[in-house]
Structure formats: C-alpha cells, structure tokens
Amino acid sequence: MAKNPKDEIINRLKRIEGQIRGLQRLIEEDRDCADIVQQLSAARKALDKVGFLILSHRMQECVNKKSEGNPDKAMQEALDLFLMLA
C-alpha cells in the first residue's frame, strides 16, 4: 500500500484507468459480451471503493473546514456526499 492516503487514492485511480483501457480494447476487439460486462463490473466496483476511500480520508477535513459557521450544515453536506456514493 501507499505511504499516505493521497498516494493510495492516486494508485487506485491509475489501476482503474488501466481497467477502462482494457474495457476499450475488449470492445474494439469485439470480445465476448460476458468478458466486457465482467471488466465493466470490476471497474465500477473499483470506482465505488475509491470513492469511499476518498470520502473516508477527506470527510473529517471537509467537515472541519465548513463547520466553522454552521456545523449542522457541514455534517448534512458530508452525509449527502456519502449518500451520493451509496
């Protein structure tokens, strides 16, 4: 694993980029539908995981920055972001 959360996120995004390029190749090569759907599913799951990773590492920081004026609003915004991924 990466040394810090930002590096871990970047590494995961690079792997996802590779998955998407692989998906493009499968389509260009007219590969079997099952292979394409399997690759698509893997990429979607990886995006979900990196989304939650970003949220978990950044939520506290974001809430702290926005909560100075209205902590309830900041918490609601954080929850809304979480629900966008769920």
Model confidence over 11-60: pLDDT tens digits?
Answer: 999 999 999 999 999 999 999 999 999 999 999 999 999 998 888 887 77
Query: By C-alpha distance, which of 16, 19, 12, 17 is closest to 53?
Result: 12
Length of the chain measured in residues:
86
> Contact at 8 Å (CB) between 46 and 2?
no
- Architecture of the domain made up of 5-85: Up-down Bundle (1.20)
Domain parsing of the chain, residue ranges: 5-85
pTM of the predicted protein model: 0.75
List C-alpha distances in Å: 76 to 5, 17, 63: 24, 31, 9
More confident residue, 85 or 14: 14
Whole-number CA gyration radius for the chain? 17
